[in-house]
């Protein structure tokens, strides 16, 4: 048992930044041991800044800031998501630049180059704004059989910026996860715990409920649908007598055709979305959930400031 007092323990904010779909949410959930951020294989799953807190008894406190993927996109929503990610660079103690090692290895193999694709160079340019220590985190190494491929990747990435440390890992399998935690702790200021020891996230229950519904929409619909979807929880009631959560969620889309795809033939897809989302909600809240889902058309909501604010993106 450590003889450190709470005031001597390292604690601080850690931004997870990188391209879309590099595994930022998966890594945060893995360290926390609890799913507080939705994660899918589709880009732009994370749209908001999400705080996840892990307190390690006698060792310190990691306050992760999961951010939207840094990317170039034409819509106002894309610009808002980028600003959320870049704002985090000015508010944290450590930045973790996450890279999909498997995707980068594939790009280098296809192109015959040892450098970086334009999308990764764009991220690095944005990261140059950070004035705090940066760690390079190579994720998805479980998908790389020849680990010697990691060396040219690291050379290409470290040639463009200085990193305090480099950690190859797999957020999915947990490989090198302990090493990652220790590396981050070593970079944090010794200032005592910033949040109560039992705190996991600062997100409201309504937000989490909406995110679990949106996750299922992303998982169960065609490619173009997820990026035109916003979910709004209109009713969230705790029935203590029945140990029941009553939730009513509206899935907003931009076109009538998208509404039809989400509802599905005979209402089968919206039923499947609701069932899967309810299972996730019951797992997270630890009680029975009654979930109602509706679909509404909100033309071009992703371009309108009023709707972006209403749905919590601006």
139 is in an annotated binding site: yes
187 is in an annotated binding site: no
72 is in an annotated binding site: no
24 is in an annotated binding site: yes
18 is in an annotated binding site: yes
Phi, psi (deg, nearest 5) at residue 297: -95, 125
SS3 per residue for 165-229: EEEECCCCCCCCHHHHHHHHHHHCCECCCCCCCCCCECCCHHHHHHHHHHHHHHHHCCCCCHHHC
The full length of the chain comes to 314
**Closest to 51 (Cα-Cα) out of 40, 71, 66, 61:** 66
Q: Count the Cβ atoms, other than its own, within 10 Å of residue 169.
A: 25
**Closest to 254 (Cα-Cα) out of 313, 309, 210, 296:** 296
192 is in an annotated binding site: no
304 is in an annotated binding site: no
Residues 6+ away with beta carbon under 8 Å from 178:
none
* Residue 213 contacts residue 276 (beta carbons within 8 Å): no
20 is in an annotated binding site: yes
25 is in an annotated binding site: yes
202 is in an annotated binding site: no
140 is in an annotated binding site: yes
74 is in an annotated binding site: no
69 is in an annotated binding site: yes
268 is in an annotated binding site: no
Residue 27 burial (C-beta neighbours within 10 Å; 0-12, 13-18, 19+): buried
40 is in an annotated binding site: no
67 is in an annotated binding site: yes
Both tokens of 47, joined, read: 């749209």
52 is in an annotated binding site: no
Binding-site residue numbers for GTP are 18-25, 66-70, 139-142
Binding site listing? 18-25, 66-70, 139-142
């Amino acid at each position: 048992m450590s003889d450190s007092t709470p005031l001597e323990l390292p604690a601080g904010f850690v931004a997870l930044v990188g391209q879309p779909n590099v595994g930022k949410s998966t890594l945060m959930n893995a360290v926390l041991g609890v799913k507080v951020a939705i994660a899918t294989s589709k880009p732009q799953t994370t749209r908001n800044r999400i705080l996840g807190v892990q307190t390690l008894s006698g060792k310190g406190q990691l306050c992760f800031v999961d951010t939207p993927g840094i990317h170039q996109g034409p819509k106002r929503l894309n610009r808002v998501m980028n600003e959320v990610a870049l704002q985090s660079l000015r508010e944290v103690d450590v930045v973790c630049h996450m890279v999909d090692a498997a995707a980068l290895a594939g790009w280098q193999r296809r192109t015959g180059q040892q450098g970086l694709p334009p999308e990764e160079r764009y991220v690095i340019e944005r990261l140059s704004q950070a004035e705090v220590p940066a760690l390079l985190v190579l994720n998805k190494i479980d998908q790389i059989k020849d680990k010697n491929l990691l060396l040219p990747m690291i050379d290409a990435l470290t040639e463009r910026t200085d990193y305090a440390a480099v950690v190859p890992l797999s957020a999915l399998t947990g490989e090198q996860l302990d090493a990652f935690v220790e590396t981050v702790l070593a970079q944090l200021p010794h200032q005592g715990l910033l949040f109560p020891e039992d705190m996991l996230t600062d997100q409201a229950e309504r937000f989490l409920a909406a995110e679990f519904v949106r996750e299922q929409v992303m998982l169960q619909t065609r490619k173009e649908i997820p990026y035109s979807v916003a979910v709004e929880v209109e009713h969230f009631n705790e029935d203590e007598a029945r140990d029941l959560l009553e939730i009513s969620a509206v899935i907003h889309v931009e076109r009538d055709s998208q509404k039809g795809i989400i509802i599905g033939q005979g209402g089968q897809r919206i039923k499947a979305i609701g069932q899967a989302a309810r299972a996730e909600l019951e797992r997270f809240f630890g009680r029975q959930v009654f979930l109602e889902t509706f679909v509404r058309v909100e033309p071009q909501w992703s371009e309108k400031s009023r709707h972006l604010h209403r749905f919590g993106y601006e």
